[in-house]
């Protein structure tokens, strides 16, 4: 019981009768006053019956039961996960009101009515905005997703290793690259670096359309041109070769079909005979059928010999959709009537273009 003095009664607009027992007339600002007949938390007590609801007498003082907390002398139930709710404010920390019931937020787990964090936000978790996603990830379509150039690993976003990145060993380098002098580098023999990746170099010319300056014998235009890119070499039947007519600057163009980086162009000389006719072969790369608008990859000066294979290295890889191979000097041969007036004849077993499509 609280000790109430007469002065208290007057001040709080209470009418005090007899032994200063206060009677709350609920006049004016009297609602905060502790009623002597209503035991409060914190009051001295002798047993539980003298304590307010949901409290017990502990060490001579009324104390709220577990899961209850004191509020203005009363014991109110601590909101717990699973309790009915009308909105988030009536739910415990780290929980929200879902379908009228307090439920733990994602990444939190209920424990004794509370929500304990069970793990940091992870890639793949539901999200409402970027702030609820882990580092280097964003909220996309309601799910945390790694930024570009990052990849998920154990719920986190790790930078995708790129060619040029520092490295300690091969395992920290991207596919098809190795750690050289502390930097990830492509396996140069068979891979080409592009935008931090290592792309496998292959023959881009195989089976592609071929155009040429002329044709041999009585063939119609285009007949046999595909022999330059049919993948077949060591051909002894001359009609299975690529074979222009006689002219000073014969050429062939291979249409790659899409943008590529070209590292080298390889010309396979015929294996049957007349190999010395191949000389001063220049390879160019670009996006035009106009020779003058192409970039020079390099020139095989020669002369060649029957059955030889010549790799024309571009040095720096050249971008383009077209590769053209052309004899750029009049024939040096003077002891054959067919070569009169410097005319050439471009005859090849095969042409391969080493590079990568972008
Ligand atoms: Ca061929």
pLDDT level of residue 105 (50, 70, 90 thresholds) = confident
pLDDT level of residue 172 (50, 70, 90 thresholds) = confident
Domain 210-357: give its CATH architecture.
Sandwich (2.60)
Q: Is residue 174 over pLDDT 60?
A: yes
Q: Is residue 159 over pLDDT 70?
A: yes
Query: What is the number of other CB atoms lying within 10 angstroms of the CB of residue 80?
Result: 16
Residues with CB under 5 A from ligand 1 (ion): 227, 230, 232, 350
How many whole angstroms from 342 Cα to the centroid of ligand 1?
26
How many whole angstroms from 268 Cα to the centroid of ligand 1?
8
State how far the Cα of 353 lies from the Cα of 303, in Å rounded to an integer: 21
Least confident of 23-37, 190-204, 312-326: 23-37
Q: Is residue 127 over pLDDT 50?
A: yes
Which parts of the chain fold into alpha helices (H)? 6-11
267-284: pLDDT as tens digits: 999 999 999 999 999 999
How many whole angstroms from 308 Cα to the centroid of ligand 1?
14
How many whole angstroms from 227 Cα to the centroid of ligand 1?
4
Is-contact 285 294, C-beta < 8 A?
Answer: yes
How many whole angstroms from 210 Cα to the centroid of ligand 1?
12
Is-contact 341 320, C-beta < 8 A?
Answer: no
| Of residues 72, 73, 68, 71, the one with CA closest to residue 83 | 68
Share of the chain above pLDDT 70, in %: 89
How many whole angstroms from 352 Cα to the centroid of ligand 1?
10
State how far the Cα of 154 lies from the Cα of 134, in Å rounded to an integer: 12
CATH 2.60.120.260 positions along the chain are 210-357
Is-contact 280 329, C-beta < 8 A?
Answer: yes
State how far the Cα of 178 lies from the Cα of 211, in Å rounded to an integer: 40
Three-state DSSP at 291 gives helix
Taking residues 332-336, report their average pLDDT: 95
Taking residues 300-321, report their average pLDDT: 96
Q: Is residue 6 over pLDDT 80?
A: no
How many whole angstroms from 269 Cα to the centroid of ligand 1?
10
Instruction: Give the pLDDT confidence score for residue 37 in this predicted structure.
Output: 65
30-81: pLDDT as tens digits: 344 444 567 889 999 999 998 999 999 999 999 998 888 888 888 888 888 8
Mean pLDDT score of the chain? 86
């Amino acid at each position: 019981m609280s000790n109430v003095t007469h002065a208290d009664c007057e001040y709080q607009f209470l009418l005090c009768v007899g032994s200063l027992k206060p009677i709350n007339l609920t006049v004016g600002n009297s609602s905060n006053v502790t009623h002597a007949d209503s035991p409060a938390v914190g009051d001295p007590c002798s047993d539980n019956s003298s304590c307010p609801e949901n409290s017990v007498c502990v060490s001579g003082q009324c104390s709220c039961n577990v899961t209850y907390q004191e509020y203005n002398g009363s014991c109110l139930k601590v909101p717990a996960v699973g309790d009915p709710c009308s909105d988030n404010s009536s739910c415990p920390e780290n929980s929200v009101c879902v379908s009228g019931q307090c439920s733990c937020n994602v990444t939190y787990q209920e424990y004794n009515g509370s929500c304990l964090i069970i793990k940091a936000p992870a890639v793949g978790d539901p999200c409402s905005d970027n702030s609820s996603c882990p580092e280097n990830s964003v909220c996309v379509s309601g799910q945390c997703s790694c930024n570009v150039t990052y990849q998920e690993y154990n719920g986190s976003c790790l930078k995708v290793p790129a060619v040029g990145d520092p490295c300690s060993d091969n395992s920290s380098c991207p596919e098809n690259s190795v750690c050289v002098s502390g930097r990830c580098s492509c396996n140069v023999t068979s891979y080409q670096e592009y935008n931090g990746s290592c792309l496998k170099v292959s023959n881009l010319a195989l089976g592609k359309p071929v155009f040429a300056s002329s044709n041999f014998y009585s063939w119609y235009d285009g007949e046999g041109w595909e022999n330059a890119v049919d993948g077949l070499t060591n051909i002894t039947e001359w009609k299975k070769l690529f074979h222009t007519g006689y002219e000073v600057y014969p050429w062939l163009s291979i249409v790659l079909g899409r943008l590529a980086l070209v590292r080298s162009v390889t010309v396979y000389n015929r294996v049957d005979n007349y190999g010395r006719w191949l000389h001063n072969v220049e390879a160019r790369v670009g996006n035009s059928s106009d020779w003058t608008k192409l970039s020079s990859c390099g020139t095989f000066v020669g002369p060649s010999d029957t059955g030889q294979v010549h790799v024309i290295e571009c040095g720096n890889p050249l971008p383009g959709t077209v590769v053209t191979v052309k004899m750029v000097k009049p024939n040096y041969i003077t002891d054959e009537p067919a070569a009169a007036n410097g005319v050439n004849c471009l005859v090849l077993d095969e042409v391969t273009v080493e590079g990568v499509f972008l």
